[in-house]
C-alpha cells in the first residue's frame, strides 16, 4: 500500500473492434482503458478526390515520376561509384568544384553551394569529407577571411578521371539519346529549372 492512498483502481474495458479499426489505449494513473477508434476508408471520397482534384494516377504526375526516377538514378550511381569510395553526392560536389575551378580561378564554398543549390552547412560537411579523403584542400581566402577556397588535389582529379566513364555510361543507359547533351529530355529539364512556378 502506498502511503496516503487507500486503494488504486485498475480497470480494463475491452470492446471487440471491427476489422478495420485502430486500437487506442488510454492511460491515467488509476485506470487503463482500451477503446476502439474506428477509422474506415471512404472509397467514394477518395475516388472523387482523384477524379476532381488531381491528375489521376500518380504515374500521370511529373513530380511523382521525377521523384521515382531520381531515386533509381541515385541508387544506380551509388552502385557504380561504390568501388571508388564515392557516394553520388560526393561525386557531384567534387565534379562541380572541378568544373567551377577549371580556369584556375578560386572557388569558394558559398559559390559551390549556390551553383549546386545545396545548403551551405551540407557543402561544408561535404568539403570536410572530401578533404579527409585527400581529394580537395581548403585554403583561407586572402580577400575575405570568412571564406574558404576549394582546390582539387591530384588525387581528386584522378578519382574523377575514374568516376566519369561509368557515370556517363549510366546516363546513357538510363536516359538514352533523349538525355544526351542537346537531347529533348535534357532540354526540357533545363526549361523547367529556369521557369518560375506560378508566373
pLDDT average, residue stretch 44-58 = 89
Is 100 part of any domain? yes
In angstroms, the CA 197 to CA 192 distance is 9
188 assigned to some structural domain: no
Please tell me the predicted confidence (pLDDT) of residue 16. 54
For residue 39, what pLDDT is reported? 54
Owning domain of residue 168: 81-180
Which of 80-84, 91-95, 122-126 is predicted least confidently?
122-126
- Indicate whether 119 belongs to any domain: yes
Percent of the chain with pLDDT over 70: 77
Q: Say what the pLDDT of residue 188 is.
A: 92
Domain count, the chain: 1
Residue 60 lies in a domain: no
Asked, for residue 2, whether it belongs to a domain, the answer is no
Nearest to 95 by CA among 81, 79, 75: 81
Q: How confident is the model at residue 142 (pLDDT cuts 50, 70, 90)?
A: confident
Is the pLDDT at 13 greater than 50? The verdict is no
Instruction: Report residue 19's pLDDT band, with 50, 70 and 90 as the boundaries.
Output: low
Confidence label for 197 from pLDDT (cuts 50, 70 and 90) = confident
Work out the end-to-end distance of the chain between its first and last CA atoms, rounded to an integer number of angstroms: 71
Report the CATH number at residue 176. 1.10.10.10
Q: What is the pLDDT of residues 31-47, one digit of tens each?
A: 544 454 555 678 889 88
Residue at 132 is within a domain: yes
Asked if residue 40 belongs to a domain, the reply is no
pLDDT at 194 (0 to 100)? 87
More confident residue, 73 or 54: 73
Does residue 6 lie within any of the structural domains? no
How crowded is the C-beta side of 41, counted as CA atoms within 13 Å? 6
Per-residue pLDDT reduced to its tens digit, 156-192: 999 999 999 999 999 999 999 999 999 999 999 999 9
What are the C-alpha distances in Å from 93 to residues 113, 127, 128, 167? Answer: 9, 8, 12, 14
- DSSP characters over 87-116: -HHHHHHHHHHHHHTTTS--EEHHHHHHHH
When mean pLDDT is compared across 27-31, 55-59, 82-86, 130-134, the lowest value belongs to: 27-31
Three-state SS for 37-75 is EECCCCHHHHHHHHHHHCCCCHHHCHHHHHHHHHHHHHH
Task: Give residue 94's pLDDT.
Answer: 95
- More confident: 95 or 8: 95
pLDDT surpasses 80 at 30: no
- Give the CA-trace dihedral at 138, 139, 143, 144, to 10 degrees: 50
Amino acid at each position: 500500500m502506498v502511503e496516503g492512498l487507500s486503494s488504486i483502481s485498475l480497470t480494463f474495458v475491452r470492446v471487440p473492434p471491427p476489422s478495420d479499426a485502430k486500437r487506442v489505449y488510454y492511460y491515467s494513473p488509476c485506470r487503463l482503458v482500451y477503446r476502439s477508434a474506428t477509422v474506415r476508408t471512404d472509397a467514394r471520397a477518395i475516388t472523387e478526390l482523384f477524379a476532381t482534384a488531381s491528375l489521376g494516377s500518380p504515374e500521370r504526375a511529373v513530380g511523382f515520376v521525377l521523384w521515382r526516377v531520381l531515386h533509381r538514378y541515385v541508387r544506380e550511381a551509388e552502385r557504380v561509384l561504390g568501388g571508388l569510395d564515392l557516394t553520388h553526392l560526393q561525386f557531384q560536389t567534387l565534379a562541380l568544384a572541378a568544373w567551377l575551378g577549371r580556369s584556375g580561378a578560386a572557388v569558394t564554398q558559398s559559390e559551390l553551394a549556390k551553383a549546386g543549390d545545396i545548403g551551405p552547412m551540407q557543402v561544408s560537411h561535404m568539403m570536410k569529407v572530401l578533404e579527409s579523403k585527400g581529394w580537395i584542400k581548403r585554403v583561407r581566402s586572402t580577400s575575405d577571411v570568412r571564406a574558404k577556397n576549394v582546390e582539387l588535389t591530384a588525387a581528386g582529379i584522378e578519382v574523377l578521371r575514374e568516376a566519369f566513364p561509368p557515370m556517363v555510361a549510366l546516363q546513357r543507359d538510363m536516359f538514352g539519346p533523349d538525355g544526351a547533351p542537346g537531347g529533348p529530355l535534357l532540354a526540357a529539364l533545363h526549361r523547367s529549372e529556369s521557369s518560375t512556378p506560378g508566373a
